[in-house]
Amino acid sequence: MRKSKEEINHNSVGLVIAKNQIINSSLKLDSGTTLKDYNLCYETYGILNKSRDNAILICHALTGDQHAAGYNDATDRKPGWWDNMIGPGKPVDTNKFFVVCPNNLGGCGGSTGPLSQNPSTGTAYGPDFPIITVRDWVESQNQLLEILEIESWAVVMGGSLGGMQAMQWAIDYPDKVKHSLIIAAAPKLSTQNIAFNEIARQAIRSDPNYYNGLYKTKNTFPEHGLKLARMVGHLTYLSDDILHTKFGRELKKGKIEFGFDVEFEIESYLKYQGESFIGQRFDANSYLLMTKTLDYFDPAEKYDGKLSDALKKCQANFLVISFSSDWRFSPTRSMEIVRALLENDKNVIYSEIESELGHDSFLLPIPQYHRILSTYLNKIAVT
Amino acid sequence: MRKSKEEINHNSVGLVIAKNQIINSSLKLDSGTTLKDYNLCYETYGILNKSRDNAILICHALTGDQHAAGYNDATDRKPGWWDNMIGPGKPVDTNKFFVVCPNNLGGCGGSTGPLSQNPSTGTAYGPDFPIITVRDWVESQNQLLEILEIESWAVVMGGSLGGMQAMQWAIDYPDKVKHSLIIAAAPKLSTQNIAFNEIARQAIRSDPNYYNGLYKTKNTFPEHGLKLARMVGHLTYLSDDILHTKFGRELKKGKIEFGFDVEFEIESYLKYQGESFIGQRFDANSYLLMTKTLDYFDPAEKYDGKLSDALKKCQANFLVISFSSDWRFSPTRSMEIVRALLENDKNVIYSEIESELGHDSFLLPIPQYHRILSTYLNKIAVT
């Protein structure tokens, strides 16, 4: 249904059109491959001020894209994935900041990725798209920054894999990040995190419709595998408590049926999550790539595993936020980042938000969480 | 390699041959289906004493079977699944006790299950084997008890799903269980537990080789699905800590390869677990059935969710054991059982064992754990 102007404009950045920026500088990736040129698809909200110092970079997580806020079309049912965070009067206040959200390289939102044409074959990259690291993303985002003629980001922020980018930015370009906001993240994946990612990958790659990643050429899609991968992922985003509160052991039809159809409400919910993800047409090769990016992230690796050494040259101020019931990237993991920053006498504020909503909390309008971000960002905007 | 007598006999119950007991009494299942007769395949260790009061029933968990101890053949590479627990001088001391371990109905170790012939069709049950409940298992085990002409079990014990059977026995036959040993169990699955089971089921059922459970008739097997299911299950049996200690972020080839082959040690381990499970030829339909049995288990359901009401008539003495790092059935869940028993003034000893080995701890020879069981069982044997 078409929305009225009032509906769209109230507290919303309104209708937005994604921009495509062809970047003609070559990009040498961590894997050794060089992209001669590439496209970054991105959205912006708010206005860049005259001194060009009010820009915020929003980094997306595993299944995110450039469409963080507002609507791409008046008939869209849902706004962008972080619409509760970004807009006029919202924590990331578009009356004050110029917000940039690119789709990450290797993604499927419009930036160069597995769906793009491989110049050396003339057909889509598919499974041959090189594996990207968080450092590669920072490099590509820096090329965008230069094209936008902005000297430095007022803020780089993101949740989960997005928080990892915010941290890597502060490490790689100390003079280009004033504030790094690292939300629901970790300095590297735990063994358990990697294991869950591997299960997701196995689910996709063992789907007979995966065809070693060449499913497009067979005009098919590894739907079952990707659905399973999403179900596993989603389950790890939610806490045991919230699952209990929301679904408990409630039965869809009120009684046990002694069969394999959906019986418990939680089964129905998981099925819905898997199917709606398929409905979003997220590319399976992109999903595989992004899980590898997560696995590889470990800024301390170059420094003999010493995170505090990796963070030594940072100049940014840091805000680190975790959520009490997040067992994917628990508060303990965020505290590792905080400790390493404190060992370097860096400016850091840490907050653990009480929430039973698990890892997904970072996407949700939890009052205490939004209040902290509003206060922090308002202070920056004023000074 | 053939084992010498010394190798087999040292601390071992030695060579054992499974027995098959056709039970000609009909069994009305919770699902409404009636089995006219059925087979229970079981092993026994030790000798039934003259007063026939030293019998221990061992109940197996999801992927267990009747082969709990010793060797079925001198060329076997591995002994039964609980060999560290059962044998001469071991916690379940076969010099003192007569140990009975049946394969559960619906299993694939030899008892009637999906691989058996369906009398009404003349072909294997496959997916048509009725879903079994823990109560059904207790009923079938009680029929075996009667055939063995034993009045009551000195002990019913098991870990995980086996512990649930030990609890159900004490509820259903208060006068036939002297001691109920409930290890690493819970009074019912949490929503998260059900969700992980549903993911395992979806993995199997969405494998194109599953053919709605009729894979045998197609001469195939849902190998990928079952492998994934096992990987998911296995991951939830291990704690984050032990994964970290055992595998960390170690790389198989010492460096990142930027590809999708096995890179991290944990990936290699998970793959091995999945594949070795396939090698054991566990039946996929049995796996599906057993996860449903787990989901349905909830003895308090009949009593308006009041576990203490469900346990009111129990006469057994209880030993409840949990493991500190078990996040599948955490100590909190065991405490729910203990609390409900205490509310009824039942005789209960509770012990939380310090272990970083997760849910799998119940299968492992952890000294404190074995010591507690030895002490407890020795005391029973003497008196």
Q: Is B343 on the interface with A (CB under 8 A)?
A: no
ipTM value? 0.90
Does B45 have pLDDT greater than 70?
yes
Q: Is B252 on the interface with A (CB under 8 A)?
A: no
Ranges A2-6, A83-87, B328-332: which has the least confidence: A2-6
Residues of each domain in chain B carrying CATH 1.10.1740.110: 194-291
Does A123 have pLDDT greater than 90?
yes
Q: What is the pLDDT of residue A254?
A: 85
Give the CATH fold of the B194-291 domain.
Rna Polymerase Sigma Factor; Chain: A (1.10.1740)
Residue among B203, B208, B247 whose CB faces A191 most closely: B247
Buried b (16+ CB within 10 A) or exposed e, B278-292: beeebbbbbbbbbbb
Q: How confident is the model at residue A8 (pLDDT cuts 50, 70, 90)?
A: low
Q: How confident is the model at residue A9 (pLDDT cuts 50, 70, 90)?
A: low
Q: Do B298 and A189 touch (CB under 8 A)?
A: no
Q: Is A335 on the interface with B (CB under 8 A)?
A: no
CATH architecture of B5-188+298-382: 3-Layer(aba) Sandwich (3.40)
For B332-361, the pLDDT digits (tens) are: 999 999 999 999 999 999 999 999 999 999
- Find, in chain A, the residue whose alpha carbon is nearest to that of B203: A228
Q: What is the pLDDT of residue A382?
A: 63
How far is Cα B32 from Cα A259, in angstroms, rounded to an integer? 12
Q: Do A266 and B31 touch (CB under 8 A)?
A: no
3-state secondary structure of B106: coil
Q: Is A326 an annotated catalytic residue? A: yes
For B98-124, the pLDDT digits (tens) are: 999 999 999 999 999 999 999 999 999
Sorted by sequence, the CB contacts under 8 Å of residue A65 that are 6+ apart come out as A81, A103, A107, A108, A109, A110
How far is Cα A349 from Cα A337, in angstroms, rounded to an integer? 11
Q: Is A311 on the interface with B (CB under 8 A)?
A: no
Give the number of other CB atoms < 10 A from CB of residue A34. Answer: 10
Q: Do A199 and B235 touch (CB under 8 A)?
A: yes
Query: Are B97 and B154 a contacting pair, CB within 8 Å?
Result: yes
What percentage of chain A carries pLDDT values higher than 70?
Answer: 97
Q: Do B258 and A130 touch (CB under 8 A)?
A: yes
Torsion sign over Cα B211, B212, B213, B217: negative
* Distances from the Cα of A77 to the Cα of A1, A71, A80, A298, B286, angstroms: 8, 9, 10, 38, 43
Counting one residue from chain A and one from chain B, the pairs whose CB atoms sit within 8 A come to 132
CB interface of B with A, residues 60-119, below 8 Å: none
Q: Do B206 and A192 touch (CB under 8 A)?
A: no
Looking at CA atoms only, how far is residue B88 from chain A in angstroms?
38
Residues of each domain in chain A carrying CATH 3.40.50.1820: 5-189+298-382
Q: Is A304 on the interface with B (CB under 8 A)?
A: no
Q: How confident is the model at residue B61 (pLDDT cuts 50, 70, 90)?
A: very high
Q: Is B160 an annotated catalytic residue? A: yes
Residues of each domain in chain B carrying CATH 3.40.50.1820: 5-188+298-382
Report, as an integer, the average pLDDT of B219-236: 95
* Chain A residues whose beta carbon lies within 8 Å of the beta carbon of residue B296: 256
Ranges A3-7, A208-212, A357-361, B215-219: which has the least confidence: A3-7
Q: Do B206 and A188 touch (CB under 8 A)?
A: no
For A65-78, the pLDDT digits (tens) are: 999 999 999 899 99
Pick the CATH number of A5-189+298-382 from 3.40.190.10, 3.20.20.70, 3.40.50.1820, 2.60.120.620: 3.40.50.1820
Sorted by sequence, the CB contacts under 8 Å of residue B154 that are 6+ apart come out as B53, B54, B55, B56, B97, B178, B179, B380
